[in-house]
Chain A
Amino acid sequence: MTNPKLVSRFNEVGINDWLRVGGKGASLGELAGAGIRVPQGCVVTTAAFEQFLAAIDPRGSIRREIEKVAADDLVACTRVGAEVRARLEGLTLPEDLQKQIATHYDELHSRVGGAGNAEPVAIRSSATSEDSAYASFAGLQDTYLWVRGVDSVIEHVRKCWASLYAVESIMYRRRLNLPEQGLAMGVVIQRMIDSRCSGVMFSRSPNTGDCSVVVVEASWGLGSAIVSGEVTPDRYVVEKITREIVSRTVSTKMRMHRPNRVGVGVIDEEVPVDQQNTACLGDDELLELADIGKRVERHYGCPQDIEWAIARDLPAIENTFLLQSRPETVWAAKDATPVAAPKSKPFDHVFSLLSGGAGKK
């Protein structure tokens, strides 16, 4: 293709497109394609990034220079990062790209029937580095919430790209000795959910590695409060097979993030006193989430770590959205020692247990 696509809708991408749109964009497209409810959106592709970067670095010298920097050389990392960012920020996005972003942004609110021209969106980095899952989870690349208006959207796309050259990002790549060549970033532009509550969900228990339960963590407002560790979330455990709720731990949730509904950005505030010790999720919502977690796991064929949100003003079920899903890596990497092996006779197991393990093997 002579003219690579600069912006793709979620329904045009799948998990195999991660090189073209970055990990997060590919995952959201995949979820949408699998019939999982995700907030509508599109991805500015890595091709758009390449085009943009080529304008300031046609021969790739910046990338080579970064690769030369030693992982522990903070001064050099800072200098080279600041230099690239200054050049990126001084450059206007190509007109064609600006137009396409504007068209897709307009499409977002026309589809939800919004009348205004300032539909709030989230702008999220979608990097292609192999373990972008870790990198984005650790907050190395930026996410901008409750962005409104096309100019601001375009501005934040550029900020996302620039964030690839933030000093901690560069140092992280140097530490892992990741190549700069081929490093690119897509940017997700996505309708923003004004969530009543949100959180994460693990289709395999992070505590014990138990595959038979879904563990859900939930807190008031936007998920950024949990991800940033500002709040101890409620914690729920649901059995996948029986849908029984095995445990509910309601925590005292002091802080919440909520969108600035009359303006832009996010407000960090105290949770109203009467809600601090209240469970965020009702049983129906919890079970709906767990069901979704099971579906996503089945779709991918392996346990998933998932971010979710429940919208404030939508009817039940329709209000439940996934924002992200990535494969669980911690327990998957551990050696699974079998819990038991068959014995020559079934009752040999009894001998072994009732003798404190001294029975026939």
Chain B
Amino acid sequence: MGADGKTRCFTLPSQIADVPGTEGWESMYPYYTRFQPEDDQRFWFYNAMHFPEPMPAFDALTAEVPYEGLGAFTTRVFAFPTTMGIEHRIVNGRIYITANPVTDPAEIQRRLAIFQERAGYYYENWDRLFREWKVRLENLIHELEAIKVPKLPEFDEAEVVTQAKGLGQNHYVRESFHRVIELFSKMWHHHFEMLMLGYGAYMVFFDFCKKAFPETADQTVARMVAGIEVLMFRPDDELKRLARLAIDYGVDDLFASDCDLKKVLDDLRGRGEPGKRWLAELDKSREPWFNMSTGDGFYHHHLSWNDDLSVPFAALPRYVEQLRRGESLERPTERLKEERGRIIAEYRGLLRSEDERQAFDQMLGLSHLVFPFVENHKFYCEHWFTSLFFKKVREFGALLVAYGVLADAEDVFQLQYVEIESALADVSLAWAGGGKPLGAAHWRPIVQERKRILEKFREWNPPPALGPIPSQINDPALQMLWGITSETLESWSRTVEAGHEKEIVGFAASPGVVEGIARVLRNVNDIGQIREGEILVCPVTAPSWGPVFGKIRAAVSDIGGTMSHAAIVAREYGLPAVVGTGQATQRIKTGQRLRVDGNRGIVSILD
């Protein structure tokens, strides 16, 4: 409620106009993602954290499937007492979401009984379940890798006869594509199988610290929780290892700044034994550590390091240079561990009663129990699995190109997955019937039109939220995954109302105040544009941007919480960071001078 007692309101979903020139965009997305008239009654916010760009038709699956998994586990499997799942809508290519809270006390009690029993089982057996989880995920990944995309040669393989398989290869066009989608769904279910329980444990500890130490920064609480050796640092560590080996093997001269990937690889091959050894080490690092998305695993064009080696190679010259200067690249893990131990012990020492100290130990212990899953699942799910998933779909794109249906394998991502099935059926029929697929005439114009619409969508500035602002919001799912609390709403509506032109308010994620030139990167693939000493302004703070943190002076993001990777990495690099600003990438232009105040969570445009 506003000070005047009226309900304050963002733009209503029904008031959003199409971006001119995108008429008919609705056909890009499933009917169940469209805003309905009654949606005006509810509060929605733009999920810029996961979906900072307009959604290509296929990529909308990266909202649909995760929300199936998330909701299944909160609503139906564990029966979280106060929250059901997330609903999503797509407008002008952007994904808006809302949560379904449970507010009836009797209903909360009924769900709580189930929740205690089921969640209790997972907490009780957490370590074992996580061990088994990792095996399950690795199996899924190997299953995905093993899926063959049929080549559909003129004559089928002889084994179909000699082993009496009884199935023509075109059957596997259908089956394999289904398998790819099914495995993707399984991965997301497993993702949420443990995640919400993990975040629940964090929330308990954060809540305790907010009460016991109300003025201590969230980031300090996060430091008490955070693990030191987590998988997400591993790809970057591998790069450092390779930089060291380049020097040891005497091939470091090839890694000059702005070196060309292809040339470096050719030169390495021409360097005899040392070059060969380095390349062999590179291959070791690549599996699985370069299955690192340049984004967060939600867009097909966020290629992995393995898909585009120029991304990791861009960081190598700098590391080589630092090593030559005698700098250590090691993360001082022992010192970080000691420091964490000291901070924990001293905060504990401030508590006044033995009861509180015991509760603190329980809650922190629980956070440390779940931490390895919460941190490491990202590598397995969003990076390793998802990189291979998009690669596999791309192979089906290549099949459609081979049959003339599409002009380019990448175009497959302009189709919804059900449309891909339909195009594949067309190819399968043509191969079987000995005719030609009809898809070229049907799909190519659609692909062209959708690409054009996606470009148009980029011109739209999505409002951070839609609909009536609730007087308070305390849905644990929103808080856990998006860091959205009543204070967030307050800060958004302030920005909307006051229209502070030169100041952008976010969350203080890493302390310090610096000034510098902005580099706005909406798309992670543009990571190479960053120059030494610039301030990174990005929609989402993605973990794979690790190497960039050595170059930049500060980081600013549209959405993200204190536990976001950028926040953690920024703190380790000692860079100021402001996250969760809502709209930094829309209001800041590359080249503008900024002041980033990581203590107060304010970004000022100085020009």
| Interface status of B297 (Cβ within 8 A of chain A) | no
Can you list 25 pairs linking A and B with CB atoms under 8 Å apart?
A: A210-B214, A210-B215, A237-B215, A239-B216, A245-B511, A246-B599, A339-B208, A339-B211, A339-B351, A342-B361, A346-B363, A346-B366, A346-B369, A349-B204, A349-B208, A350-B200, A350-B366, A351-B116, A351-B119, A353-B203, A354-B115, A354-B200, A355-B108, A355-B112, A356-B81
| Interface status of B249 (Cβ within 8 A of chain A) | no
What are the 3 tightest A-B residue pairs by CB atom distance, in nearest-first order?
A: A342-B358, A347-B123, A340-B359
| Bound-complex Cα distance A95 to B12 (A) | 86
| Bound-complex Cα distance A42 to B219 (A) | 46
Expressed in whole angstroms, the minimum distance between the Cβ of B310 and any Cβ of chain A is 37
Q: Which residues in A have their C-beta under 8 angstroms from that of B105?
A: 358
With A347-B201, A356-B82 as given contacts, are A338 and B116 in contact (CB-CB < 8 Å)? no
Q: Which residues in A have their C-beta under 8 angstroms from that of B120?
A: 345, 347, 351
| Interface status of B347 (Cβ within 8 A of chain A) | yes
| Bound-complex Cα distance A321 to B602 (A) | 32
Closest partner residue, chain A, to B122 (CB atom): A347
| Interface status of B159 (Cβ within 8 A of chain A) | no
Contact, CB under 8 Å: A205 / B215 = yes
Q: Which residues in B have their C-beta under 8 angstroms from that of A341?
A: 355-356, 358-359
Expressed in whole angstroms, the minimum distance between the Cβ of A175 and any Cβ of chain B is 33
| Interface status of A359 (Cβ within 8 A of chain B) | yes
| Interface status of A211 (Cβ within 8 A of chain B) | yes
Contact, CB under 8 Å: B600 / A248 = yes
| Interface status of A115 (Cβ within 8 A of chain B) | no
| Pick from B201, B219, B346, B353: contact of A350, CB under 8 Å | B201
Contact, CB under 8 Å: B356 / A349 = no
Query: 1/0 contact trace for B330-371 toward A, CB 8 Å?
Result: 000000000000110011001111011011111101100100
Contact, CB under 8 Å: A246 / B216 = yes
With A244-B220, A347-B120, A356-B82 as given contacts, are A208 and B214 in contact (CB-CB < 8 Å)? yes
With A242-B220, A338-B355, A353-B200 as given contacts, are A358 and B119 in contact (CB-CB < 8 Å)? no
Most chain B CB neighbours (cut-off 10 Å) among A208, A353, A358: A353
| Interface status of B401 (Cβ within 8 A of chain A) | no
| Pick from B212, B355, B474, B511: contact of A342, CB under 8 Å | B355
| Interface status of A213 (Cβ within 8 A of chain B) | yes
Query: 1/0 contact trace for A214-253 toward B, CB 8 Å?
Result: 0100000000000000000000010111101111100000
| Interface status of A360 (Cβ within 8 A of chain B) | yes
B408-455 with Cβ < 8 A to chain A: none
With A248-B600, A340-B208 as given contacts, are A346 and B365 in contact (CB-CB < 8 Å)? yes
**B residues lining the A interface (CB < 8 Å):** 80-82, 105, 108-109, 112, 115-116, 119-120, 123-124, 197, 200-201, 203-204, 207-208, 211-217, 219-220, 223, 342-343, 346-347, 350-353, 355-356, 358-363, 365-366, 369, 474, 476, 511, 599-600
| Bound-complex Cα distance A45 to B109 (A) | 69
Q: Which residues in A have their C-beta under 8 angstroms from that of B351?
A: 339
Closest partner residue, chain B, to A242 (CB atom): B220
| Bound-complex Cα distance A347 to B123 (A) | 7
Contact, CB under 8 Å: B600 / A247 = yes
Expressed in whole angstroms, the minimum distance between the Cβ of A44 and any Cβ of chain B is 40
Given A349-B362, A353-B476, A355-B82, 19 more contacts at CB 8 Å?
A239-B220, A242-B223, A244-B217, A244-B219, A245-B511, A247-B600, A342-B359, A342-B362, A345-B120, A345-B123, A349-B204, A350-B200, A350-B201, A351-B115, A353-B203, A355-B108, A355-B112, A358-B105, A359-B116
| Interface status of A176 (Cβ within 8 A of chain B) | no
Q: Which residues in A have their C-beta under 8 angstroms from that of B112?
A: 351, 355, 358-359
| Interface status of A343 (Cβ within 8 A of chain B) | yes
Does more than half of chain A's interface fall in helix, strand or loop, or is it mixed?
Answer: loop
Contact, CB under 8 Å: A347 / B207 = no
Contact, CB under 8 Å: A339 / B356 = yes
Contact, CB under 8 Å: A339 / B215 = no
Closest partner residue, chain B, to A350 (CB atom): B200
| Bound-complex Cα distance A205 to B81 (A) | 36
Q: Which residues in A have their C-beta under 8 angstroms from that of B115?
A: 351, 354-355
With A340-B356, A351-B115, A355-B108 as given contacts, are A248 and B215 in contact (CB-CB < 8 Å)? no
| Interface status of A92 (Cβ within 8 A of chain B) | no
With A210-B215, A247-B599 as given contacts, are A347 and B366 in contact (CB-CB < 8 Å)? yes
| Bound-complex Cα distance A213 to B208 (A) | 16
| Bound-complex Cα distance A340 to B353 (A) | 10
Contact, CB under 8 Å: B108 / A339 = no
Contact, CB under 8 Å: B362 / A241 = no
| Pick from A338, A347, A360: contact of B353, CB under 8 Å | A338
| Bound-complex Cα distance A246 to B211 (A) | 16
| Bound-complex Cα distance A160 to B217 (A) | 45
Q: Which residues in B have their C-beta under 8 angstroms from that of A237?
A: 215
Q: Which residues in B have their C-beta under 8 angstroms from that of A353?
A: 200, 203-204, 207, 476
Expressed in whole angstroms, the minimum distance between the Cβ of A222 and any Cβ of chain B is 28
| Pick from A247, A340, A355, A359: contact of B211, CB under 8 Å | A340
| Bound-complex Cα distance A275 to B261 (A) | 53
Contact, CB under 8 Å: B365 / A211 = no
| Bound-complex Cα distance A228 to B204 (A) | 43
Q: Which residues in B have their C-beta under 8 angstroms from that of A247?
A: 215, 599-600
Closest partner residue, chain A, to B204 (CB atom): A349
With A339-B208, A358-B112 as given contacts, are A245 and B599 in contact (CB-CB < 8 Å)? yes
| Bound-complex Cα distance A347 to B122 (A) | 10
| Bound-complex Cα distance A339 to B347 (A) | 14
Contact, CB under 8 Å: B359 / A212 = no
| Interface status of A330 (Cβ within 8 A of chain B) | no
| Pick from A246, A336, A354, A358: contact of B215, CB under 8 Å | A246
